[in-house]
Amino acid sequence: MVSVCIYFQVHQPFRIKKYRVFDIGHSHDYFDEKKNREVCEKVAKKCYLPANKILLDLINNTDGKFKVAFSISGTAIEQFEKYTPEVLDSFKELAKTGKVEFLNETYYHSLAFLYDKDEFKRQVKKHKYKMKELFNFTPTIFRNTELVYNNELAFHVEKMGYDAILAEGADHILDWRSPNFLYTPKTCKKLKLMLKNYKLSDDIAFRFSNKGWEGWPLTSEKFADWVSNNNGNGEVVNLFMDYETLGEHQWEDTGIFDFLKKMPWEILKHHDNEFLLPSEVIKKYEPKAELDIHNFISWADVERDLTAWLGNGMQRAASKELYLIGEVVKQSGDENLIKDWELLTTSDHFYYMCTKWFADGDVHKYFNPYDSPYDSYINFMNVLNDIIIRLKEKAQINKIASAKNTKLKKPFEISERPSSLVLDHVS
Protein backbone atom coordinates (compact mmCIF):
# COMPACT_ATOMS: atom_id res chain seq x y z
CA MET A 1 0.00 0.00 0.00
CA VAL A 2 1.43 3.33 -1.01
CA SER A 3 -0.32 6.62 -0.37
CA VAL A 4 0.66 9.49 -2.59
CA CYS A 5 0.37 13.01 -1.28
CA ILE A 6 0.81 15.85 -3.74
CA TYR A 7 1.28 19.44 -2.67
CA PHE A 8 1.93 22.33 -5.04
CA GLN A 9 3.40 25.67 -3.98
CA VAL A 10 1.90 28.69 -5.72
CA HIS A 11 3.80 31.91 -5.31
CA GLN A 12 4.52 35.22 -7.03
CA PRO A 13 6.48 38.03 -5.36
CA PHE A 14 5.87 41.73 -5.84
CA ARG A 15 9.07 42.53 -7.70
CA ILE A 16 10.64 45.89 -6.97
CA LYS A 17 11.03 48.30 -9.86
CA LYS A 18 14.23 50.09 -10.75
CA TYR A 19 14.58 52.35 -7.74
CA ARG A 20 17.59 54.64 -7.85
CA VAL A 21 19.30 56.83 -5.34
CA PHE A 22 17.49 59.83 -6.85
CA ASP A 23 14.15 58.30 -5.96
CA ILE A 24 14.95 58.12 -2.26
CA GLY A 25 12.82 60.67 -0.47
CA HIS A 26 10.92 61.49 -3.65
CA SER A 27 9.03 58.42 -4.78
CA HIS A 28 7.28 55.91 -2.56
CA ASP A 29 6.22 53.79 -5.47
CA TYR A 30 8.40 50.70 -5.13
CA PHE A 31 6.84 47.88 -7.04
CA ASP A 32 7.06 47.10 -10.70
CA GLU A 33 3.41 47.09 -11.64
CA LYS A 34 4.13 46.36 -15.29
CA LYS A 35 6.55 43.52 -14.73
CA ASN A 36 4.44 41.91 -12.03
CA ARG A 37 1.39 42.03 -14.23
CA GLU A 38 3.33 40.62 -17.20
CA VAL A 39 4.74 37.71 -15.24
CA CYS A 40 1.44 36.96 -13.55
CA GLU A 41 -0.42 36.98 -16.85
CA LYS A 42 2.24 34.88 -18.53
CA VAL A 43 2.34 32.24 -15.80
CA ALA A 44 -1.47 32.23 -15.61
CA LYS A 45 -1.60 31.39 -19.29
CA LYS A 46 1.23 28.89 -19.31
CA CYS A 47 0.63 27.22 -15.98
CA TYR A 48 -2.13 28.18 -13.55
CA LEU A 49 -5.10 28.08 -15.90
CA PRO A 50 -4.26 24.96 -17.95
CA ALA A 51 -2.95 23.07 -14.91
CA ASN A 52 -6.00 23.91 -12.79
CA LYS A 53 -8.21 22.71 -15.61
CA ILE A 54 -6.37 19.40 -15.82
CA LEU A 55 -6.51 18.89 -12.05
CA LEU A 56 -10.22 19.66 -11.98
CA ASP A 57 -10.86 17.13 -14.74
CA LEU A 58 -8.76 14.55 -12.94
CA ILE A 59 -10.68 15.02 -9.71
CA ASN A 60 -14.00 14.75 -11.49
CA ASN A 61 -13.07 11.84 -13.75
CA THR A 62 -11.56 9.77 -10.94
CA ASP A 63 -14.58 10.37 -8.74
CA GLY A 64 -12.37 12.16 -6.28
CA LYS A 65 -9.76 9.45 -6.03
CA PHE A 66 -7.25 12.00 -7.22
CA LYS A 67 -6.74 14.87 -4.80
CA VAL A 68 -4.19 17.55 -4.25
CA ALA A 69 -3.03 20.18 -1.77
CA PHE A 70 -1.95 23.75 -2.44
CA SER A 71 -0.19 26.43 -0.56
CA ILE A 72 -0.86 29.77 -2.21
CA SER A 73 1.07 32.75 -0.89
CA GLY A 74 -0.80 35.92 -0.03
CA THR A 75 1.23 37.90 -2.54
CA ALA A 76 0.25 35.47 -5.30
CA ILE A 77 -3.39 35.83 -4.31
CA GLU A 78 -3.16 39.62 -4.34
CA GLN A 79 -1.72 39.45 -7.84
CA PHE A 80 -4.49 37.13 -9.01
CA GLU A 81 -7.02 39.54 -7.55
CA LYS A 82 -5.37 42.44 -9.35
CA TYR A 83 -4.26 40.96 -12.64
CA THR A 84 -5.84 37.59 -13.33
CA PRO A 85 -9.07 37.08 -11.35
CA GLU A 86 -9.87 34.09 -13.57
CA VAL A 87 -7.01 32.22 -11.91
CA LEU A 88 -8.53 32.82 -8.50
CA ASP A 89 -11.90 31.63 -9.80
CA SER A 90 -10.34 28.42 -11.04
CA PHE A 91 -8.79 27.78 -7.63
CA LYS A 92 -12.21 28.40 -6.02
CA GLU A 93 -13.64 25.93 -8.48
CA LEU A 94 -11.08 23.38 -7.33
CA ALA A 95 -11.84 24.15 -3.69
CA LYS A 96 -15.51 23.38 -4.26
CA THR A 97 -14.73 19.77 -5.17
CA GLY A 98 -13.78 19.14 -1.55
CA LYS A 99 -10.80 17.19 -2.85
CA VAL A 100 -8.37 20.06 -2.51
CA GLU A 101 -6.67 21.08 0.69
CA PHE A 102 -5.06 24.44 1.37
CA LEU A 103 -2.02 24.68 3.56
CA ASN A 104 -1.09 27.60 5.75
CA GLU A 105 2.05 29.67 5.27
CA THR A 106 3.30 33.18 5.93
CA TYR A 107 1.10 35.54 3.94
CA TYR A 108 4.10 37.33 2.43
CA HIS A 109 6.11 34.16 1.77
CA SER A 110 8.67 35.55 4.17
CA LEU A 111 11.47 34.33 6.39
CA ALA A 112 9.94 36.21 9.32
CA PHE A 113 10.38 33.24 11.63
CA LEU A 114 14.14 33.77 11.54
CA TYR A 115 13.92 37.38 12.69
CA ASP A 116 10.68 38.19 14.40
CA LYS A 117 8.41 35.49 15.83
CA ASP A 118 5.53 37.90 16.45
CA GLU A 119 5.63 39.09 12.88
CA PHE A 120 5.79 35.46 11.77
CA LYS A 121 2.63 34.62 13.72
CA ARG A 122 0.91 37.73 12.42
CA GLN A 123 1.65 36.77 8.81
CA VAL A 124 0.55 33.17 9.35
CA LYS A 125 -2.72 34.32 10.86
CA LYS A 126 -3.29 36.76 8.02
CA HIS A 127 -2.83 33.93 5.55
CA LYS A 128 -5.15 31.66 7.47
CA TYR A 129 -7.92 34.26 7.34
CA LYS A 130 -7.34 34.72 3.64
CA MET A 131 -7.78 30.99 3.00
CA LYS A 132 -11.01 30.99 4.96
CA GLU A 133 -12.26 34.09 3.18
CA LEU A 134 -11.46 32.88 -0.34
CA PHE A 135 -11.96 29.14 -0.17
CA ASN A 136 -13.99 28.70 2.99
CA PHE A 137 -11.22 26.44 4.18
CA THR A 138 -9.42 26.54 7.52
CA PRO A 139 -5.94 25.06 7.16
CA THR A 140 -4.70 22.69 9.84
CA ILE A 141 -1.35 21.98 8.31
CA PHE A 142 1.55 24.37 8.10
CA ARG A 143 4.36 24.75 5.64
CA ASN A 144 6.98 27.44 6.08
CA THR A 145 8.43 29.49 3.21
CA GLU A 146 10.64 27.31 0.98
CA LEU A 147 10.18 24.48 3.51
CA VAL A 148 12.51 26.22 5.90
CA TYR A 149 12.32 24.11 9.05
CA ASN A 150 13.94 23.24 12.37
CA ASN A 151 13.03 22.00 15.86
CA GLU A 152 12.25 25.47 17.11
CA LEU A 153 9.84 26.18 14.29
CA ALA A 154 8.05 22.90 14.94
CA PHE A 155 7.78 23.82 18.62
CA HIS A 156 6.07 27.14 17.81
CA VAL A 157 3.88 25.67 15.11
CA GLU A 158 2.57 23.05 17.50
CA LYS A 159 1.78 25.76 20.04
CA MET A 160 -0.09 27.64 17.31
CA GLY A 161 -2.41 24.66 17.10
CA TYR A 162 -1.46 22.91 13.88
CA ASP A 163 -1.66 19.15 13.35
CA ALA A 164 1.30 18.77 11.03
CA ILE A 165 4.17 20.54 9.35
CA LEU A 166 5.98 19.94 6.08
CA ALA A 167 9.73 19.79 5.55
CA GLU A 168 12.35 18.70 3.06
CA GLY A 169 13.45 15.07 3.27
CA ALA A 170 17.06 16.14 3.10
CA ASP A 171 19.63 13.35 3.05
CA HIS A 172 21.81 14.95 5.69
CA ILE A 173 19.01 14.86 8.28
CA LEU A 174 17.44 11.56 7.30
CA ASP A 175 20.62 9.56 6.95
CA TRP A 176 19.41 5.96 6.57
CA ARG A 177 15.81 6.83 7.35
CA SER A 178 13.11 7.05 4.72
CA PRO A 179 11.09 10.19 3.94
CA ASN A 180 8.12 7.90 3.27
CA PHE A 181 6.97 7.76 6.89
CA LEU A 182 5.65 10.31 9.34
CA TYR A 183 7.93 11.57 12.09
CA THR A 184 7.61 13.55 15.30
CA PRO A 185 9.78 16.63 15.76
CA LYS A 186 11.98 16.23 18.82
CA THR A 187 10.50 19.38 20.35
CA CYS A 188 6.87 18.31 19.91
CA LYS A 189 4.32 15.99 21.40
CA LYS A 190 1.55 15.77 18.83
CA LEU A 191 2.71 17.65 15.75
CA LYS A 192 3.41 15.33 12.83
CA LEU A 193 6.20 15.91 10.38
CA MET A 194 5.72 15.12 6.67
CA LEU A 195 8.87 14.94 4.60
CA LYS A 196 9.24 15.59 0.92
CA ASN A 197 10.44 12.65 -1.16
CA TYR A 198 12.88 14.83 -2.99
CA LYS A 199 14.08 12.19 -5.42
CA LEU A 200 10.67 11.53 -6.92
CA SER A 201 9.58 15.17 -6.57
CA ASP A 202 12.67 16.47 -8.34
CA ASP A 203 12.34 13.86 -11.07
CA ILE A 204 9.32 15.88 -12.13
CA ALA A 205 10.30 19.36 -11.00
CA PHE A 206 13.90 19.49 -12.22
CA ARG A 207 14.72 16.48 -14.36
CA PHE A 208 11.59 15.99 -16.40
CA SER A 209 12.95 17.61 -19.57
CA ASN A 210 16.63 16.84 -19.01
CA LYS A 211 17.68 14.71 -21.96
CA GLY A 212 21.00 13.95 -20.29
CA TRP A 213 19.21 12.26 -17.41
CA GLU A 214 19.13 8.46 -17.47
CA GLY A 215 15.43 8.53 -16.58
CA TRP A 216 14.53 10.60 -19.64
CA PRO A 217 11.94 10.50 -21.08
CA LEU A 218 9.86 10.27 -17.93
CA THR A 219 6.61 8.54 -18.82
CA SER A 220 3.65 8.31 -16.47
CA GLU A 221 4.00 4.50 -16.51
CA LYS A 222 7.62 4.68 -15.47
CA PHE A 223 6.91 7.19 -12.75
CA ALA A 224 3.99 5.16 -11.40
CA ASP A 225 6.31 2.16 -11.19
CA TRP A 226 8.87 4.13 -9.24
CA VAL A 227 6.21 5.32 -6.84
CA SER A 228 4.80 1.80 -6.42
CA ASN A 229 8.28 0.47 -5.75
CA ASN A 230 8.02 2.10 -2.34
CA ASN A 231 5.38 -0.43 -1.43
CA GLY A 232 6.66 -2.34 1.56
CA ASN A 233 9.27 0.16 2.60
CA GLY A 234 7.17 3.25 3.11
CA GLU A 235 3.66 4.43 3.74
CA VAL A 236 3.36 7.74 1.99
CA VAL A 237 5.24 9.30 -0.91
CA ASN A 238 5.15 13.08 -0.55
CA LEU A 239 5.49 14.85 -3.88
CA PHE A 240 6.04 18.50 -3.06
CA MET A 241 6.92 21.02 -5.74
CA ASP A 242 6.40 24.48 -7.15
CA TYR A 243 3.20 24.62 -9.13
CA GLU A 244 5.01 26.70 -11.75
CA THR A 245 6.90 23.50 -12.63
CA LEU A 246 3.89 22.66 -14.76
CA GLY A 247 4.11 24.65 -17.97
CA GLU A 248 6.46 27.37 -16.74
CA HIS A 249 9.69 25.71 -15.55
CA GLN A 250 8.90 22.67 -17.66
CA TRP A 251 7.31 24.06 -20.78
CA GLU A 252 4.26 22.55 -22.33
CA ASP A 253 6.26 21.15 -25.26
CA THR A 254 8.23 18.93 -22.86
CA GLY A 255 5.03 16.92 -22.49
CA ILE A 256 4.57 17.87 -18.84
CA PHE A 257 0.80 18.33 -19.18
CA ASP A 258 0.33 14.96 -20.86
CA PHE A 259 2.34 13.48 -18.05
CA LEU A 260 0.12 15.21 -15.49
CA LYS A 261 -3.04 13.94 -17.20
CA LYS A 262 -1.91 10.32 -17.26
CA MET A 263 0.20 9.97 -14.13
CA PRO A 264 -2.67 9.74 -11.59
CA TRP A 265 -4.37 7.02 -13.66
CA GLU A 266 -1.14 5.05 -13.87
CA ILE A 267 -0.61 5.32 -10.13
CA LEU A 268 -4.20 4.23 -9.45
CA LYS A 269 -3.76 1.21 -11.75
CA HIS A 270 -1.87 -0.43 -8.93
CA HIS A 271 -4.76 -1.32 -6.70
CA ASP A 272 -2.80 -0.81 -3.53
CA ASN A 273 -2.17 2.83 -4.33
CA GLU A 274 -4.21 5.84 -3.39
CA PHE A 275 -3.99 9.63 -3.29
CA LEU A 276 -4.38 11.31 0.09
CA LEU A 277 -4.51 14.90 1.25
CA PRO A 278 -2.03 15.87 3.97
CA SER A 279 -4.80 15.99 6.61
CA GLU A 280 -5.82 12.45 5.58
CA VAL A 281 -2.24 11.21 5.69
CA ILE A 282 -1.81 12.27 9.30
CA LYS A 283 -5.12 10.68 10.28
CA LYS A 284 -4.22 7.42 8.64
CA TYR A 285 -0.60 7.02 9.74
CA GLU A 286 1.32 7.36 12.95
CA PRO A 287 4.86 8.71 13.29
CA LYS A 288 7.54 6.06 13.19
CA ALA A 289 10.26 7.94 15.03
CA GLU A 290 11.44 11.22 16.43
CA LEU A 291 13.53 13.56 14.27
CA ASP A 292 15.98 15.97 15.79
CA ILE A 293 16.65 18.80 13.36
CA HIS A 294 18.51 21.55 15.09
CA ASN A 295 19.93 23.44 12.10
CA PHE A 296 17.62 24.99 9.57
CA ILE A 297 16.88 23.00 6.44
CA SER A 298 14.98 24.06 3.32
CA TRP A 299 14.20 22.77 -0.13
CA ALA A 300 16.56 25.13 -1.91
CA ASP A 301 19.67 24.26 -3.92
CA VAL A 302 21.85 21.23 -3.23
CA GLU A 303 22.77 22.58 0.20
CA ARG A 304 19.14 22.42 1.36
CA ASP A 305 19.84 25.18 3.87
CA LEU A 306 19.39 28.95 4.24
CA THR A 307 22.29 30.05 2.06
CA ALA A 308 20.07 30.87 -0.89
CA TRP A 309 18.61 33.78 1.13
CA LEU A 310 21.16 34.48 3.83
CA GLY A 311 24.42 33.18 2.41
CA ASN A 312 26.26 36.47 2.04
CA GLY A 313 26.77 39.74 3.89
CA MET A 314 24.39 41.69 1.67
CA GLN A 315 21.55 39.27 2.27
CA ARG A 316 22.11 39.18 6.00
CA ALA A 317 22.41 42.94 6.32
CA ALA A 318 19.33 43.64 4.23
CA SER A 319 17.20 41.13 6.16
CA LYS A 320 18.41 42.26 9.54
CA GLU A 321 17.79 45.92 8.84
CA LEU A 322 14.38 45.23 7.39
CA TYR A 323 13.21 43.32 10.45
CA LEU A 324 14.83 45.72 12.89
CA ILE A 325 12.51 48.51 11.78
CA GLY A 326 9.46 46.24 11.62
CA GLU A 327 8.18 47.12 15.07
CA VAL A 328 8.49 50.87 14.46
CA VAL A 329 6.84 50.58 11.08
CA LYS A 330 3.85 48.87 12.62
CA GLN A 331 3.69 51.45 15.42
CA SER A 332 3.55 54.24 12.85
CA GLY A 333 -0.04 53.38 12.11
CA ASP A 334 0.55 54.33 8.47
CA GLU A 335 -1.20 51.63 6.48
CA ASN A 336 0.61 52.24 3.21
CA LEU A 337 3.94 52.22 4.94
CA ILE A 338 3.12 49.00 6.73
CA LYS A 339 1.97 47.34 3.50
CA ASP A 340 5.15 48.38 1.67
CA TRP A 341 7.28 47.03 4.50
CA GLU A 342 5.36 43.77 4.52
CA LEU A 343 5.81 43.31 0.79
CA LEU A 344 9.55 43.73 1.29
CA THR A 345 9.62 40.74 3.65
CA THR A 346 8.96 38.38 0.73
CA SER A 347 11.90 36.01 0.61
CA ASP A 348 12.45 36.41 -3.14
CA HIS A 349 14.02 39.83 -2.62
CA PHE A 350 16.83 38.15 -0.69
CA TYR A 351 17.07 35.25 -3.08
CA TYR A 352 17.87 37.77 -5.85
CA MET A 353 20.92 38.88 -3.83
CA CYS A 354 22.41 35.39 -3.78
CA THR A 355 25.98 35.28 -5.07
CA LYS A 356 26.32 31.55 -4.63
CA TRP A 357 27.06 30.11 -8.07
CA PHE A 358 26.28 33.48 -9.59
CA ALA A 359 29.39 33.16 -11.71
CA ASP A 360 28.19 29.89 -13.20
CA GLY A 361 24.87 31.36 -14.18
CA ASP A 362 22.42 28.83 -12.85
CA VAL A 363 18.82 28.39 -11.82
CA HIS A 364 18.93 31.51 -9.66
CA LYS A 365 19.29 33.56 -12.80
CA TYR A 366 16.13 32.19 -14.36
CA PHE A 367 13.96 33.61 -11.62
CA ASN A 368 15.93 36.79 -11.17
CA PRO A 369 14.68 40.07 -12.62
CA TYR A 370 18.06 41.71 -11.97
CA ASP A 371 21.32 41.64 -13.94
CA SER A 372 23.23 40.77 -10.82
CA PRO A 373 22.80 40.18 -7.08
CA TYR A 374 24.61 43.46 -6.50
CA ASP A 375 22.03 45.39 -8.49
CA SER A 376 19.24 43.84 -6.49
CA TYR A 377 20.92 44.78 -3.23
CA ILE A 378 21.37 48.42 -4.26
CA ASN A 379 17.75 48.56 -5.32
CA PHE A 380 16.49 46.99 -2.12
CA MET A 381 18.60 49.19 0.14
CA ASN A 382 17.52 52.31 -1.73
CA VAL A 383 13.90 51.37 -1.07
CA LEU A 384 14.67 50.59 2.55
CA ASN A 385 16.27 54.01 2.92
CA ASP A 386 13.14 55.61 1.56
CA ILE A 387 11.07 53.71 4.07
CA ILE A 388 13.33 55.12 6.78
CA ILE A 389 12.68 58.63 5.54
CA ARG A 390 8.97 58.04 5.58
CA LEU A 391 9.31 56.71 9.10
CA LYS A 392 11.28 59.74 10.15
CA GLU A 393 8.71 62.03 8.62
CA LYS A 394 5.96 60.12 10.35
CA ALA A 395 7.82 60.31 13.62
CA GLN A 396 8.30 64.03 13.13
CA ILE A 397 4.66 64.55 12.33
CA ASN A 398 3.70 62.64 15.43
CA LYS A 399 6.13 64.69 17.42
CA ILE A 400 4.93 67.97 15.95
CA ALA A 401 1.40 66.96 16.71
CA SER A 402 2.33 66.37 20.30
CA ALA A 403 4.98 68.97 21.04
CA LYS A 404 5.18 71.32 18.02
CA ASN A 405 8.73 70.21 17.47
CA THR A 406 11.49 71.01 14.98
CA LYS A 407 11.44 70.83 11.23
CA LEU A 408 12.63 67.85 9.23
CA LYS A 409 16.34 67.54 8.84
CA LYS A 410 17.69 67.72 5.30
CA PRO A 411 19.59 66.54 3.41
CA PHE A 412 19.14 63.00 4.57
CA GLU A 413 21.88 60.43 4.98
CA ILE A 414 21.89 57.15 3.16
CA SER A 415 22.71 54.54 5.67
CA GLU A 416 23.09 50.85 5.88
CA ARG A 417 22.08 51.02 9.50
CA PRO A 418 18.80 52.82 9.09
CA SER A 419 17.37 51.17 12.14
CA SER A 420 19.56 53.07 14.54
CA LEU A 421 18.56 56.35 12.94
CA VAL A 422 14.92 55.55 13.07
CA LEU A 423 14.95 54.31 16.60
CA ASP A 424 16.73 57.47 17.68
CA HIS A 425 13.98 59.54 16.23
CA VAL A 426 11.08 57.55 17.42
CA SER A 427 12.01 56.69 20.96
Partner 1 sequence: MKVLMFGWEFPPFKSGGLGTACYDLTKGLSRQGIKVTFVMPKAPEGAEAEFVNLLGTNNYLKNVKIRTVDSPLLAYNTSESYADYMRRYKILGTKGDVAYGEDLHSEVQRFSEIAKVIAEQEGHDVIHAHDWMAYRAGINAKKVSGKPLVCHIHATEFDRTGNNPNYHISHKEFEGLKEADLVIANSNYTKQNIINQYMIDPKKIKVVHWGIDPENPHYQGDYTSKMSDHDKIVLFLGRVTLQKGPDYFLQTAKKVLAYVPNTKFVVAGSGDMLAWMIEKSAEMEITNNMVFTGFLKGKEVHDAYKMADLFVMPSVSEPFGLTAIESIKNGTPVILSKNSGASEVLTNVLKVDFWDIDEMTNKIVGSLKYRNLYNELRDNSLVEADNFNLDVPAKKVIDAYNHAISYAGGVS
Catalytically active residues are: 146
- Interface positions, 306-325, toward partner 1 (CB under 8 A): 312-314, 316-318
What's the Cα-to-Cα distance from 35 to each of 32, 51, 83, rounded to whole Å? 5, 23, 11
Q: Does 362 bind partner 1 (CB under 8 A)?
A: no
To the nearest whole angstrom, how small is the minimum distance from the Cβ of residue 385 to partner 1? 9
DSSP state of 142: E
Q: What is the DSSP string of 88-121?
A: HHHHHHHHHTT-EEE-B--TT-B-HHHH-HHHHH
Q: Which of 161, 253, 302, 359 binds partner 1 (CB under 8 A)?
A: 359
Residue 67 or 349: which CB sits closer to partner 1? 349
Task: Taking each helix axis as running N to C, give the angle between helix 85-96 and helix 49-61, from 0 to 180 degrees, rounded to the nearest 10.
Answer: 10
To the nearest whole angstrom, how small is the minimum distance from the Cβ of residue 169 to partner 1? 32
Distance of CA 75 to the CA centre of its chain: 10
To the nearest whole angstrom, how small is the minimum distance from the Cβ of residue 364 to partner 1? 12
- Interface positions, 385-424, toward partner 1 (CB under 8 A): 414-416
Closest CA to 346 of 127, 75, 150, 165: 75
Closest CA to 200 of 165, 236, 251, 254: 236
CB-based contacts of 23: which residues, under 8 Å, 6+ apart? Answer: 382, 386
To the nearest whole angstrom, how small is the minimum distance from the Cβ of residue 18 to partner 1? 8
Q: Does 382 bind partner 1 (CB under 8 A)?
A: yes
Q: Residues binding partner 1: what is the number (CB under 8 A)? A: 25
Q: Does 252 bind partner 1 (CB under 8 A)?
A: no
Q: Does 377 bind partner 1 (CB under 8 A)?
A: yes
Contact, 39 vs 61, CB < 8 A? no
Residue 88 or 381: which CB sits closer to partner 1? 381
Q: Does 22 bind partner 1 (CB under 8 A)?
A: yes
Contact, 256 vs 246, CB < 8 A? yes
Q: Does 172 bind partner 1 (CB under 8 A)?
A: no
Contact, 289 vs 247, CB < 8 A? no
Residue 54 or 317: which CB sits closer to partner 1? 317
Site string for partner 1, 319-358 (x = CB under 8 A): ------------------------------------x--x
Q: Does 372 bind partner 1 (CB under 8 A)?
A: yes
By the criterion CB under 8 A, which residues form the site for partner 1? 20-22, 312-314, 316-318, 355, 358-359, 361, 371-375, 377-378, 381-382, 414-416
